[in-house]
Structure 1
């Protein structure tokens, strides 16, 4: 078979969405940008450690600076996006702003003026622009994808994310070794430029801007509170995120100091999680078709955190420990993709276009806002009761997050509902009793 024939055969088997020019350009930009983000995820802390000789406290502040914008700006960002309209243009501006910020680090390094304060400012500003990009992205996605293709579209984007988890850190490590940690950030800067270029080449019909009015800031939160589907789903994923970030704070220290794993082996274990995520992005659509969107989401809410219990359970001979670690990371990677894809699909289906950015901002504020709290709480818990008992506590607590779903309609939801079908009627105000 010739190369051209093989390429044509492969293209014929690609999902139908990738044959649509606008979505293909959008997905290409997302894929490149996600890969660049994973390079940065490794290169920024390495720049802090290797170039600026930052200690544990400084690393904690650096991570906190990157996570804080989601808590501070998501709610207001959603209101701004819905009020402004022209979300694609805002996403292009956010991409170009992030590219300039990332490029400032290698430039300062080359000039010999790079400081820890600059790194903190850069990750905070990049995180702020990421909020603006993401709250707009929720609306742009449904402007490009038909309702019947939400699962496929979410699977393709999540598959790109899983691939970036697997390939990005390895590429980042190689770039840091060949160049220097700050110079590796040029890859992420370039990826944002590619994303902006691809967004500039599409022109979907977006929902109109929402006029100014009272109560706009809390409308997203009120919609989530009234939704019989979004409210328990947010409680579930926020609980899992809270304790999963506590887990991620402790697990590297436990693996290296407690179990004696070397960094190379630990990298392979993390790669197993990315491989599981890639598989999860491929099979999630089949699972949804087989058992329904609600049962698949519920399954993902269990299949993501529950396997991580194997980590504190691991003990005995090193092969047994490694097997437990690999199994935990692989199964959790598969589970998180199933949870992410079904949750994103359900949000796309039930959030009305007029509220999409505000609801996405409210959802993001809670779901991402718990992450720095989890990271901080995990460190404090590990110091108080020890690494292994703390890992037992946070992994079991994360697995219990699925209990939020059980009283809701989600476990019995076979098909995608419409926005009005998820809402509970607002309770009328009770008249004051006569005195």
Structure 2
């Protein structure tokens, strides 16, 4: 593990990790605009069809989320990251090829979304588990903040670029940018040279037992339980929004593709501001306190989403997205750092996979619910449901031990997966 001072940006390999995050995120954010536009504009999908597409993208967290953590804990994390990027690049490149051949269909979109989702599960679990082997513990908050800053910067540029590419070359061919982004990410990650600690020796425990250890670690810690609950609620309603926002912006607000991309960039602008401010806010109000205070302060802005209208009134959608995602990124930087400080390295993959399973596993259901509500009552009604749901996000955190803390606890010498005091 690197231990020299001066902050994480002085570490060459951490800069490569940042570069990989940036290129991968730019491509992924182009897809955030282009993939649903392929469904809505090119293939004339219904609102439920776009909800099913979002569900396919996130279903992998339910299908392989828990065993992925146990598998990742048995492997070096860096090769997992590179392979996941390559799989995503190849899968995404299949769509513009199918469009060029004139054989693109909705089932192909669902299949590619599912394959890339599985690769993303392994990438995300390995990524969060890898950072503590690259940086010393005292730099984890700064490192997570830098990663969020780079991701948010890429997310600012990505949707606008996606909208422009869709208008210039068509939605299917804009997806080439996503495939290229994943390939560049893999190349940056392959350049990392910091020796990675070998995985913990096999204990002879079954896969079920190892998964159970991750579940026990999360469920027996009262703060982790409440973090999981709040994040699961946020992701359920966030997936509802993702499932219906393209239909809402295109068919209700009647915005062109380029403006749709700019509207989606608003959330990334808020996220970038949140990433830049996360460290200062944590120091000012407390690293534990900011975990619940951020969603409490910004969640009410969600009610501006359904109040958006045609013309200038469409800006309310952008304002709501910027404010809500500002709070979401501040929350994520703080709670991910808390988890990394709390968990011993040999359990980190399973802990992160358990959290991902719990909090991302709600997303397919949220996407399907969003599509169903939009089909039955209209896209605006679905967006109202999303807004109401975001008001519930901070409630579990307010009933957790975090409510009584100002700063994060100093990590104990060992954290065996047994009973944990609150």
TM-score range for the pair, normalised by the shorter chain length: 0.7 to 0.9
- Once the two structures are overlaid, the 10-residue window that deviates more, 247-256 or 21-30, is 247-256
Shift of 1:86: 1.6
Contact 2:26/2:157, CA 8 A, preserved across alignment? yes
Q: Work out whether 1:170 is the aligned partner of 2:160.
A: yes
Q: 1:252/1:422 Cα in 2 relative to 1: closer, same or farther (>3 Å)?
A: farther
What is aligned with 1:133? 123
What is aligned with 2:24? 33
Once residues 256 and 190 of structure 1 are traced to their aligned partners in structure 2, the CA distance between those partners, rounded to angstroms, is 27
Contact 1:70/1:131, CA 8 A, preserved across alignment? yes
Once residues 375 and 381 of structure 1 are traced to their aligned partners in structure 2, the CA distance between those partners, rounded to angstroms, is 10
Residue number among 232, 237, 257 corresponding to 1:238 in the alignment: 232
* CA shift digits 1:232-278 (9 cap, x unpaired): 111111122223333444556666776x5645666554433322211
What is aligned with 2:275? 281
Residue number among 193, 215, 218 corresponding to 1:221 in the alignment: 215
Once residues 420 and 375 of structure 1 are traced to their aligned partners in structure 2, the CA distance between those partners, rounded to angstroms, is 41
Once residues 340 and 210 of structure 2 are traced to their aligned partners in structure 1, the CA distance between those partners, rounded to angstroms, is 20
- Once the two structures are overlaid, the 10-residue window that deviates more, 231-240 or 157-166, is 157-166
Q: Work out whether 1:24 is the aligned partner of 2:15.
A: yes
Shift of 1:88: 0.9
Contact 2:54/2:239, CA 8 A, preserved across alignment? no
* CA shift digits 1:27-81 (9 cap, x unpaired): 1111110111111222223333444444444333322221211111110111111
Residue number among 76, 79, 91 corresponding to 2:81 in the alignment: 91
Count matched residues: 409
Contact 1:207/1:353, CA 8 A, preserved across alignment? no
Q: Work out whether 1:161 is the aligned partner of 2:151.
A: yes
Contact 2:237/2:390, CA 8 A, preserved across alignment? yes
Structure 2 residue ranges without an equivalent (≥5): 1-5
User: RCO greater where, 1 or 2, for CA within 8 Å and sep 6 or more?
Assistant: 2
SS of residue matched to 1:229:
helix
What is aligned with 2:322? 330
Write out aligned runs for 1:400-415 (5 A): 400-411=392-403, 412-415=405-408
Shift of 1:396: 3.6
* CA shift digits 1:255-304 (9 cap, x unpaired): 6776x564566655443332221111111110111121111111122134
Contact 1:105/1:119, CA 8 A, preserved across alignment? yes
Shift of 1:117: 2.6
TM-score (norm. length: structure 1): 0.84
Once residues 347 and 321 of structure 2 are traced to their aligned partners in structure 1, the CA distance between those partners, rounded to angstroms, is 36
Once residues 132 and 226 of structure 1 are traced to their aligned partners in structure 2, the CA distance between those partners, rounded to angstroms, is 24
How large is the Cα RMSD of the aligned pairs?
A: 2.9
Contact 1:223/1:359, CA 8 A, preserved across alignment? yes
Q: Work out whether 1:148 is the aligned partner of 2:138.
A: yes
SS of residue matched to 1:209:
coil
- Once the two structures are overlaid, the 10-residue window that deviates more, 290-299 or 56-65, is 56-65
What is aligned with 2:3? none
Q: 1:257/1:153 Cα in 2 relative to 1: closer, same or farther (>3 Å)?
A: same
* CA shift digits 1:316-357 (9 cap, x unpaired): x976x5564444222212111111111111111112111111
What is aligned with 1:432? none
Once residues 55 and 31 of structure 2 are traced to their aligned partners in structure 1, the CA distance between those partners, rounded to angstroms, is 16
Q: 1:386/1:44 Cα in 2 relative to 1: closer, same or farther (>3 Å)?
A: closer
Contact 2:163/2:260, CA 8 A, preserved across alignment? no
SS of residue matched to 1:401:
coil
TM-score (norm. length: structure 2): 0.87
Structure 1 residue ranges without an equivalent (≥5): 1-14, 428-435
Q: 1:234/1:421 Cα in 2 relative to 1: closer, same or farther (>3 Å)?
A: farther
Once residues 19 and 280 of structure 1 are traced to their aligned partners in structure 2, the CA distance between those partners, rounded to angstroms, is 22
